[in-house]
Amino acid sequence: MEATVTLSSKNQIVVPKFVRQQLGIGPGDQLIVNVEKEELVLKPKPKNYTIHLRGLHQHLWKGVDSKQYIDRERNSWKENGKRPIPGDHLAFDLDGNPGETQSGRKSGSGPGL
């Protein structure tokens, strides 16, 4: 369903009732305002970003046992005698392939990296 709204003299709009009901928003809720391709986009601001982001990129971890992955990473720290440098796993070449990190280790050993 589509609706037309009018910008008031105070530069305000009224979000139609069917939109508020469909999005589950009401008085006091915050909206994120953005412009995409010359269009105004309003999105409800998540009340909890942890819940909102849960499951993001889950396809990268399909078939990976998280406990085994964490154990393997921790064992590599023990072998090297130190913990990884924060952000060290983010080194990639221009083609998106893992490259040398600041610590000299190959990056991207984890799923999807």
pLDDT digits (tens, 9 = 90+) for 24-35: 999 999 999 999
How is the chain split into domains, by residue range?
Answer: 1-51, 55-113
DSSP assignment letter at 36 = E
What is the pTM for the complete model shown?
Answer: 0.46
Q: Does domain 1-51 have CATH number 2.10.260.10?
A: yes
Q: b or e along 2-34 (b: 16 or more beta carbons within 10 Å of the residue's beta carbon)?
A: eeeeeeeeeeeeeeeeeeeeeeebeeeeeeeee
Q: pLDDT of 3-62, one tens digit each?
A: 999 999 999 999 999 999 999 999 999 999 999 999 999 999 988 888 878 888 888 878
108 vs 23, more confident: 23
